[in-house]
Amino acid sequence: MDMPEKTIHDLEELKEYAAGFVATLRGGETIGLVGELGAGKTAFVQEVARALGVESAVTSPTFVLMGFHKTGAGAAARGIRTLCHVDAYRLKEESELWEIGFGDYVGKPDTVIFVEWADRVPSLRGLPGYHELKIGFDEGEVRRLSWDAASSPPLQDKPE
Ligand SMILES: Nc1ncnc2c1ncn2[C@@H]1O[C@H](COP(=O)(O)OP(=O)(O)OP(=O)(O)O)[C@@H](O)[C@H]1O
Ligand SMILES: [Mg+2]
């Protein structure tokens, strides 16, 4: 299985990439984001949210582990109604995530889930519909995005 890689030069390119990626979503996916502090995990979720027509602000709030955002009419019309955004940075045990009801949203057909610091939640890797995106630094604003072949088979029509 290949591991599609993409070099992203700036936020405008991230926006385009996220929009292309969102077009491949069907609902029910869980996307794990792995990358160092400041790599651009939240930035990616923000661009995904924009492409989904989310109006509420996507941030990384200090005390909220899991946030929900209603999508816009376009995404809703194709069955994707909710963006669930998890930031696992402050998790002490991965069980905490499951204890707050995360499992209720996994695989939910009208929901797409994005988990920052997914490497802190190894149990994600066994989930059907799980895909992992690594975001690495290059020079300046340049980032390298790569999909992990060890998670689910690649999404169809995934942008190169
Ligand atoms: N090509 C790019 N892709 C992503 N972010 C970029 C890019 N170029 C610049 N940035 C900037 O890098 C920063 C990334 O911060 P962001 O909060 O998204 O990182 P993060 O991985 O979520 O960090 P944290 O580990 O603190 O959650 C933002 O200020 C963003 O504007
Ligand atoms: Mg973040």
Q: Which domain holds residue 93?
A: 5-144
Structural domain includes residue 154? no
Structural domain includes residue 19? yes
> The domain spanning residue 114 has which CATH number?
3.40.50.300
Residue 60: which pLDDT band, with cuts at 50, 70 and 90?
A: confident
d(CA 51, CA 16): 9
Residue 155: which pLDDT band, with cuts at 50, 70 and 90?
A: low
Residue whose CB lies within 8 A of the most ligand 1 atoms, among 41, 138, 139, for a mutation test: 41
Residue whose CB lies within 8 A of the most ligand 1 atoms, among 9, 10, 11, 119, for a mutation test: 11
Distance from the alpha carbon of residue 11 to the mean position of ligand 1, in angstroms = 9
pLDDT at 160 over 60: no
The sheet that has 30-34: what strands, in order across it?
A: 5-8, 143-147, 130-137, 30-34, 111-116, 82-87, 66-70
d(CA 49, CA 58): 7
Structural domain includes residue 160? no
Pocket of ligand 1 (CB under 6 A): 8, 10-11, 14, 35, 37-43, 60, 116, 141, 143
Tokens at residue 61, please? 């709030």
Structural domain includes residue 62? yes
d(CA 148, CA 81): 26
Structural domain includes residue 34? yes
The ligand with the least distance to the CA atom of 44 is 1
Q: Average pLDDT over the chain, rounded to whole?
A: 91
Structural domain includes residue 157? no
Look at the chain and report how many structural domains it folds into: 1
Residues making up the chain, counted from first to last: 160
The tens digit of pLDDT for each residue in 109-134 reads 999 999 999 999 999 998 989 999 99
Question: According to the model, what pLDDT value does residue 62 have?
Answer: 63
